[in-house]
Amino acid sequence: MLFEDLSLSKSIQRAVFEEGYTNPTPIQEKSIPIILAGKDLVGCAQTGTGKTAAFAIPIIHHLHRMVGSSKKTKQIRCLVVTPTRELAVQIGESFDTYGKYTNLRQLTVFGGVSQVPQVDQLKKGVDILIATPGRLLDLHKQGFVDFDHLHFLVLDESDLMLDMGFINDVRKIVKLVPTNRQTLLFSATMPMAIRELADTFLNNPEYVSVTPVSSTAEIIKQQIYFVDKSDKRALLYHLIRNENLKNVLVFVRTKHGADNVVKALKKQGINAEAIHGDKSQTARQRVLDSFKNKEISVLVATDIAARGIDIESLPYVINFDLPNIPETYVHRIGRTGRAGNGGISISFCGKDEEPYWKDIQKLIKVDVKVTKDHPFPWKETEANPDAKPDLRNKKKSDGTKSRKSEASKKNKKRWY
């Protein structure tokens, strides 16, 4: 199928052609006709599959026909709700790109910055509003947002909104919008909670699913290093220096961990920065732009912050900490497998993370290369669970320590 076969307006076809698109991706091919037909839709697709264009293009097509070149006061006719600021910005950019030859106006609003410029734009009128839940509800409560003319409601990255605790906010938003709307729900995964939401919010929706979560891993070159937790930073530096890695996205489990990794890399002269929820919106956007422009070699991120990172031709993803949810592993490494492109993922596995790795292997069903030739392998006592325990400092059964242990303790000198 070609984009020409979708009967889109010439203005949109021109914009799409200029972006170099000829054939729609699987999620676009399946979703666009359903949305053009006016049906509610539940789409299961990961970031990087062309999901945003799958809903933005048909919405722009409908609104362009509806509004045309009208100079009348603009009303909010499409609302896109997404969990993170970075995702909101990227969705807004997509609407601008595909709708650049139309008279439609989009606005992106999110928290963490002053609402004054956002309110000023709302007063001028917009056709498409992209928003994070908290800021949207605040603006509505203050009377700056009117949903009376809404035709489209898009709930994007719904599973992430669930993870981030936004579902109650989403329920509030759904109650504020007209019931005779067209609703589109997209999610990278489809847990039971999301299906229940779809049944509640949508009217007899069509279900579309592309790229099973495990298949993304098949086009990415994966490596696993079994390394002691205390040696992970040293191994990271070793790989970056010895393999001359650049434009590397590193995943960690916590915000504190991200800051510590960056601090350690900077001490070694590596140009690294962190992105996580404790950073201000301005700081996050500055770091992300610097990474995209290759002014920063290493970007260290938590999962929630990284969900909004969409970078073309990202060569390396490193799992500094393994995730405890197997699907998260696939989402992470998928950052380097955009639109069918290959990439390299490197994972560090501490002894305490071995159960996580086994769960990941069950999901991806790929024989991942184990790299044994590196300076920081598991220590023998950790690597061999059947090894005899060191009893030199263990207490005797009568509660006392051995004389040899006590003597050695007295004579022991500090080496540091």
DSSP one-letter string for 150-203: --EEEE-SHHHHHHTT-HHHHHHHHHHS-SSSEEEEEESS--HHHHHHHHHHSS
Q: Are 226 and 378 in contact (CB under 8 A)?
A: yes
pLDDT interval class at 398 (50, 70, 90) = very low
How much is the pLDDT for 193? 83
- Please check whether residue 411 lies inside any domain of the structure: no
Q: Are 400 and 249 in contact (CB under 8 A)?
A: no
Residue with tokens 């054939």: 23
- Please check whether residue 244 lies inside any domain of the structure: yes
- CA proximity to 76, closest of 113, 121, 11: 121
- Please check whether residue 65 lies inside any domain of the structure: yes
- Per the model's pLDDT, the better-predicted residue between 242 and 311 turns out to be 242
Q: Can you say whether the dihedral through the CA atoms of 75, 80, 84, 89 is positive or negative?
A: negative
pLDDT(405) > 60: no
Q: Can you say whether the dihedral through the CA atoms of 245, 247, 251, 252 is positive or negative?
A: positive
Q: Average pLDDT for residues 13-21, to the nearest whole number?
A: 88
Domain boundary among 187, 209, 231: 209
Q: Are 332 and 303 in contact (CB under 8 A)?
A: yes
Q: Could you write out the DSSP letters of every residue in 299-328?
A: EEE-HHHHTT---TT--EEEESS--SSHHH
221 and 144 in a common domain: no
- CA proximity to 41, closest of 202, 240, 184, 193: 184
How much is the pLDDT for 212? 58
Q: Could you write out the DSSP letters of every residue in 258-295?
A: HHHHHHHHHHTT--EEEE-TTS-HHHHHHHHHHHHTTS
352 and 304 in a common domain: yes
Give CA separation, 304 vs 165, 221, 278, 358, in Å. 12, 24, 11, 23
Q: Which two tokens stand for residue 152?
A: 């489209």
272 and 204 in a common domain: no
What is the pairing mode between strands 248-251 and 298-301?
Answer: parallel
pLDDT interval class at 204 (50, 70, 90) = very high
pLDDT(273) > 90: yes
For 204: left if phi > 0, alpha if psi spans -120 to 50, otherwise beta; the answer is left
Query: 325: domain CATH number?
Result: 3.40.50.300
Domain boundary among 179, 209, 239: 209
Measured from the Cβ of residue 320, the count of other Cβ atoms closer than 10 Å reads 19
How much is the pLDDT for 392? 40
Mean pLDDT of the chain: 84
Measured from the Cβ of residue 17, the count of other Cβ atoms closer than 10 Å reads 12
Give CA separation, 214 vs 78, 160, 330, 371, 384, in Å. 33, 18, 7, 22, 30
Helix (H) or strand (E) holding 15: helix 10-18
110-133: pLDDT as tens digits: 998 899 999 999 999 999 999 999
Task: Name, in order, each residue with C-beta under 8 angstroms of 98's C-beta and a sequence gap of 6 or more.
Answer: 12, 15, 16, 19, 53, 56, 57, 60
202 and 224 in a common domain: no
- Please check whether residue 402 lies inside any domain of the structure: no
232 and 129 in a common domain: no
pLDDT(141) > 80: yes
Domain boundary among 159, 181, 209: 209
Q: Tell me the residue range of the domain where 326 lies.
A: 215-383
pTM above 0.75, yes or no: no
241 and 196 in a common domain: no
pLDDT(312) > 50: yes
219-232: pLDDT as tens digits: 789 999 999 999 99
pLDDT(366) > 50: yes
How much is the pLDDT for 289? 85
How much is the pLDDT for 109? 96
Number of domains observed in the structure of the chain: 2
pLDDT(29) > 50: yes
How much is the pLDDT for 390? 43
Least confident interval from 65-74, 165-174, 405-414: 405-414
Q: Average pLDDT for residues 180-193, to the nearest whole number?
A: 89
How much is the pLDDT for 211? 62
How much is the pLDDT for 403? 41
380-396: pLDDT as tens digits: 644 444 444 444 444 44
How much is the pLDDT for 3? 85
- Please check whether residue 410 lies inside any domain of the structure: no
- Per the model's pLDDT, the better-predicted residue between 177 and 25 turns out to be 177
123 and 59 in a common domain: yes
229 and 318 in a common domain: yes
Percent of the chain with pLDDT over 90: 52
Least confident interval from 38-52, 202-216, 365-379, 384-398: 384-398
166 and 29 in a common domain: yes
Q: Tell me 3's DSSP state.
A: G
- Please check whether residue 404 lies inside any domain of the structure: no
Measured from the Cβ of residue 28, the count of other Cβ atoms closer than 10 Å reads 25
Give CA separation, 249 vs 46, 85, 230, 301, 314, in Å. 18, 19, 20, 7, 8
How far from chain centre, in Å, is Cα 258?
16
129 and 7 in a common domain: yes
